[in-house]
Amino acid sequence: MTDVLDELQWRGLVAQHTDLDALRQALNSGPLTFYCGFDPTAPSLHHGHLVAIKVMRHLQLAGHHPIALVGGATGLIGDPRPSSERQLNSKDTVAQWAQALRGQLERLLEFDGPNPVRMVNNYDWTSQMSAIDFLRDLGKHFRMGTMLSKDIVARRLASDEGISYTEFSYQILQANDFLQLYRKYGVTLELGGNDQWGNLVGGMDLIRKVEGKDVHVLTNPLITKSDGTKFGKSEGGAIWLDPEMLSPYAFYQFWLNTADADVVHLLKVFTFRTREEIEALAQEVQEAPHRRHAQKVLAADVTEWVHGADAVARVQRASEALFGGGELAGLDEQTLGAAVAQLPSATAAPGDELVRLFVETGLEKGVGAARRTLKSGGLYLNNQKITDGEARLAASDLLPGRIALLRKGKKNLAVVRV
């Protein structure tokens, strides 16, 4: 493998950093221990977290020792947002979310083998600290001017709502995490998103003041599209990793819909494809963009990483079956339901005329138009061509979930629900 820092830079996974030469020397001098933190401010991680997890995985593969921190304590406080105060969640809720995030991280990182990830929860040491300990042992080392000058704090102070002392103190708690992990596990590198730079540097400064030692900080960029806009959000909101919050089918489709201008960059960031493989895919984007092969590779690789190979196979079968390339009846109800969730729909009952259902779902403007399309061979029920203008929906036509798929031509789809 190439120098791991060069690899991260080539993939666009490095934003800000402390002394780069010193960090490179530390990475090349033997295994170091590093950590990255994830706050349970929601019941699931989302696609943005995959960037930091990807950096962790590259460093793990290079032989460095990873620690994944779930913020059971900092999740109770909430990192300040640019616009307004976070709503405080109950301790039980945060504990449940912390457990859910732990489960997701265990699937995304390598917890077995000779160099496994160690999982920690900052609630274990933060909950043991008294208010006096917080003020004397930590607060004494933080200068108000520095804390007030941080971008998000300054923006919140200038807003009508301001900022509470609770959220203002978050940066001290996160800095303490770095100090505690340095002391207990010898952690000398903290990773995080670029929006966390101020918090990460706070931990580095705290270790220098308390222990007299130099440590390192490295951030990954917040991913944007080629037009400069933020990369993310589906029609339903965030790109969650929990299959109950966003189905594997919708997750796959999100990546599959990547624009040609963005797909090569996202292959570097979100997949483990080699340079040679990505360069070959980039060539295909230039020479045969209509094949969308790079997008298919991106969607399959990220979906397999998050949801597993079986989920990819189900999603791909569903995608093919929707347009006549496979057997609809063989799909499970959950995958089929996710595949048709965004299609135009109408309610129906066995015995309804099929031509009228095409009108009710909006695929045809009227019964006469539907009959003309039928005569020309353009109407399908569950991918079977309809030849009888008087045909009606039968109970035997229903797929799992009591639905039936209507198709006009090659690409116009709708669903009826009984």
138-169 pLDDT, tens digit each:
999 999 988 888 888 888 888 888 889 999 99
Q: Percent of the chain having pLDDT more than 70?
A: 99
222-275 pLDDT, tens digit each:
988 888 888 876 555 789 999 999 999 999 999 999 999 999 999 999 999 999
**What's the maximum distance between 2 C-alpha atoms anywhere in the chain?**
85
Q: What is the pLDDT of residue 323?
A: 80
| Pair (178, 253) in one structural domain | no
User: Angle at which helices 91-108 and 293-307 pack, to 10 degrees?
Assistant: 120
Q: What is the CA radius of gyration of the chain?
A: 26
User: Last residue of a domain, which of 293, 309, 339?
Assistant: 339
| Pair (174, 43) in one structural domain | yes
Residue 235 placed within a domain: no
Averaged over 31-36, what is the pLDDT?
Answer: 97
Residue 387 pLDDT class (50, 70, 90 cuts) = very high
| Pair (316, 413) in one structural domain | no
| Pair (278, 356) in one structural domain | no
Residue 8 placed within a domain: yes
CA distance 351 to 154: 66
| Pair (199, 322) in one structural domain | no
CATH number of domain containing 367? 3.10.290.10
101-150 pLDDT, tens digit each:
999 999 999 998 889 999 999 999 999 999 999 999 999 999 998 888 88
Q: What is the pLDDT of residue 125?
A: 96
CA distance 385 to 377: 7
Which residues form the domain of 407? 345-417
CATH number of domain containing 326? 1.10.240.10
Q: Evaluate if residue 1 carries a pLDDT over 60.
A: no
User: Last residue of a domain, which of 339, 357, 374?
Assistant: 339
275-289 pLDDT, tens digit each:
999 999 999 999 999
Q: What is the average pLDDT value for the chain, to the nearest integer? A: 93
Averaged over 7-29, what is the pLDDT?
Answer: 94
Residue 230 placed within a domain: no
Q: What is the pLDDT of residue 2?
A: 53
Cα angle 65-20-53, degrees, rounded to a multiple of 5: 40
Q: Evaluate if residue 324 carries a pLDDT over 80.
A: no
Residue 242 placed within a domain: no
338-357 pLDDT, tens digit each:
999 889 999 999 999 999 99
Q: What is the pLDDT of residue 85?
A: 84
Domain count, the chain: 3
| Pair (376, 325) in one structural domain | no
Better-predicted residue by pLDDT, 325 or 157: 157
| Pair (353, 303) in one structural domain | no
| Pair (179, 257) in one structural domain | no
pTM of this prediction exceeds 0.85 = yes
CATH number of domain containing 203? 3.40.50.620
